[in-house]
Amino acid sequence: MEVKKYLSRIGVDGDNIPAPGYELLKMLQYNHVLTVPYENLDIISGKALSLELEDLYKKVVTDGRGGYCFELNRLFEWLLCELGFKTESYFARFWRGESGIPQRRHRVIAVFIEGETYIVDVGIGSPAPRIPLLLEEGTVQEFFGESYRFERDSEFGWVLYELSHGEWRRYFSFTEDKAQEIDFVMPSFYCEKHPDSKFNKSLMVAIKTAEGRKSIDGNVYKEFVGNKLSLIKENISDKRLSEILKSEFGLTVKK
């Protein structure tokens, strides 16, 4: 596992890396979400996921693939630690799109810089923060036309809210209990195999762009500029889907 190859995968020159600090963290997260797609190709194909670092490195860096939160945030945290950042991972509840209380089936990264804590996440396919969020109660943080704020909750710990259609809505929440790597195995397996999981029903692929994002949901391809839908293609054939995966997301489906 080589740091420079990982940096190259996300478009960063490994020979000119500044000291660990907010500006480097911001650059790494931004580059990551624009180059490494969120995707569930292995889950849909029935291939068992591995959360071992060597396997994640091979999948994302060597093979040019993507993954979902348990994969991408673990590997990204390894990169941050190798570059000298102090980090911890937390279990989170992902509230976006949920009508009830969601399970703890998400992983986020806390990064500690000069007395401040930043929350970093490169494992979300929907609209999401592209740069680190300062963990500070009540402060509205606006980036790329999106607005977020953290609030404290007596039951759910820190709750991240997003401003959606003029209304503040829960995005994800977490408590500051340090998670161990073994803790993420069971929820990841649930996402892979449980009949109620949304991750094993249809293809989900997404990547951020400088202007917005691109996504595949089943056999529907979409492009967004900001939060506005700019292109939609429906009922895509398997052949055309494979072409779009390659051209728009850099993914090759192996038979």
- Is residue 73 a contact partner of residue 121, using CB atoms and an 8 Å limit? yes
Stated as kind and residue range, the H or E segment containing 214 is strand 212-217
Q: What percent of the chain has pLDDT over 70?
A: 99
Q: Within 13 Å, how many C-alpha atoms sit on residue 175's CB side?
A: 8
Q: What is the largest CA-CA distance in the chain?
A: 52
Reported as a pLDDT band with limits 50, 70 and 90, residue 254 is low
- Find the CATH number of the domain harbouring 221: 3.30.2140.20
**Cβ partners under 8 Å of residue 140, min gap 6:** 147, 148, 149, 163
Q: Give the model confidence (pLDDT) of 36-65 as tens digits.
A: 999 999 999 999 999 999 999 999 999 999
Q: What average pLDDT score do residues 148-157 get?
A: 97
Kindly state the tokens that stand for 238.
Answer: 């398997």
pLDDT at 252: 78
pLDDT at 69: 96
- Is residue 120 a contact partner of residue 140, using CB atoms and an 8 Å limit? no
**For residue 255, is it within any domain?**
no
pLDDT at 165: 87
Q: Does residue 22 have a pLDDT over 80? A: yes
Average model confidence (pLDDT) for the chain? 95
Q: How many domains in the chain?
A: 1
**For residue 254, is it within any domain?**
no
Q: What is the DSSP string of 71-114?
A: HHHHHHHHHHHHTT-EEEEEEEEE-TT-SSPPPEEEEEEEEEET
- The whole domain housing 179 covers 3-249
Q: Within 13 Å, how many C-alpha atoms sit on residue 78's CB side?
A: 21
What is the helix, strand, coil percentage profile of the chain, to 5?
30, 30, 40
**For residue 199, is it within any domain?**
yes
**For residue 101, is it within any domain?**
yes
Q: Give the model confidence (pLDDT) of 182-214 as tens digits.
A: 999 999 999 999 999 999 999 999 999 999 999
CA separation for the pair 177, 196 (Å, rounded): 27
pLDDT at 255: 54
CA separation for the pair 252, 237 (Å, rounded): 16
- Is residue 59 a contact partner of residue 93, using CB atoms and an 8 Å limit? no
**For residue 203, is it within any domain?**
yes
pTM given for the model: 0.95
**For residue 106, is it within any domain?**
yes
Question: Torsions phi, psi of 171, nearest 5?
Answer: -110, -65
Dihedral, CA atoms, 74, 129, 4, 115, nearest 10 degrees?
Answer: -80
SS3 of residue 181 by DSSP = helix
**For residue 202, is it within any domain?**
yes
**Cβ partners under 8 Å of residue 76, min gap 6:** 28, 29, 32, 109, 120, 122, 123
Q: Does residue 107 have a pLDDT over 70? A: yes
Q: Which of 51, 53, 89 is nearest to 68 (CA)?
A: 51
**For residue 49, is it within any domain?**
yes
Q: What average pLDDT score do residues 104-129 get?
A: 96
pLDDT at 206: 97
Residue whose tokens read 């509205």: 140
